[in-house]
Structure 1
Amino acid sequence: MPEIELSGRRIQYEVSVRKVRYMRIYVTPSGKLEIVSPTRRVEPFLRAKEKWIITKIEAIEKAKQLSGFPYLGRFYNTGSGEKFKVNDNMIKLPHNKKLESTLRVRLREIITPLIQEKTKKLNVNVNKVFIRKQKTRWGSCSPKGNLNFNLAMLALPPQLIDYLVSHEVAHLVEMNHSKRFWKLVEKFHPDWKRKRRELKEWWIIVHNNPIWKEILEGRK
């Protein structure tokens, strides 16, 4: 795999050559540098994006140093137990599928009243609500009026869960990210831009947390 030195770091990267007009660069949650490009000559582009790349990698390194299980915005020490139980700074986690099913119930209990509140205010109806282990997004809204939420939302602080519900319910009115859509979101969260930045940070945290990784990859 090719390497490039940026800010004194040797960084490996992978190039996917495709018929695209512009070069695109991604830093995966695990810290892998991926480039989609019409050519394999990408190093000038990487050097131009050096500051952005290093900032992303440093955020990932910081996330990897965090210990504990993130739940509703807090980091807990963990122990084993027959039932999921939160006590002060400790969470007891059951094993295998029992943990996943318990987390699904917990998330549904949290988001159901939020969905009811937002749909009533925007005068819209939701069809079905699904909780999934999504790999690329926190949530989505289908043209059929179905809302999909990522199980990993349980790691987030309550205000970010509220924002995500508001965001997806707003899509029941506007199935795009137009100015009108963001005006709807703004009714619930005037600081939505800040919350979007925080969600990017939490995405990195969740996908570098060993327990959440096992849950989302289906091994626990």
Structure 2
Amino acid sequence: MTQDFDGRIALVTGASRGIGYQIAKQLGERGAHVIALARTVGGLEDLDDEIKAAGGQTTLVPVDLMDFDALDRLGAAIFERWKKLDILVGNAGMLGVLSPLGHISPKDFEKVMAVNVTANWRLVRSLDPLLRQSDAGRALFLTCVQAQTRTAFWGLQSISKSAVEAMARTWANESLQTAMKINLADPGPTRTGLRAKTMPGEAPENLPTTQVVAADLVELLKPEIFRTGELYDRISGEWTS
């Protein structure tokens, strides 16, 4: 496999399963040292085994994204070891309940906002100085169609992902004079366990696998990608600003 990410340091959240697992795996197989964040230790260990079998390297960080103090410490730990970060993939997210807005409990609302929005902001706050030290810092945050459609009963997704999109684009505008490029990606329907739960009548064989989706998204992390503050729709292959 082409080692086109050789020497890059890449941090991926939600790396123990699904799209995040495959993004981390493919980055590691292509030469990046992957810092893999997730709550599920078993999934992280499987990822570590696969990347090492391909000759790559990982640093596993079992962490709950709602442990904001740990996210704050992360930047200092990366700086102490590598002095920089080349890639940030904000993949981890929480669906929450599908419900009318007025029926969502404060606990559910706050938890989804904490994982989907606040945790990503804490990562930006912690890792921005490190990405600025890279010759081609790249950040990619995953979003979904509900951020644009505001689909009924999907309020937690539409609200939290809209906030993520606003945050990423604001950060991109604040970084125009740097080598950093910050973008968003909507992977579209993907063959995951979460998709099966929300769309139980859907035939999974008609959906792309996480491996296929991740392969497309990894391309957006290359140094030669000069777009910033834009959203990539994987289904159409189009960018929007």
Q: Which has the larger share of strand?
A: 1
TM-score, structure 1 normalization: 0.26
Structure showing greater radius of gyration is 1
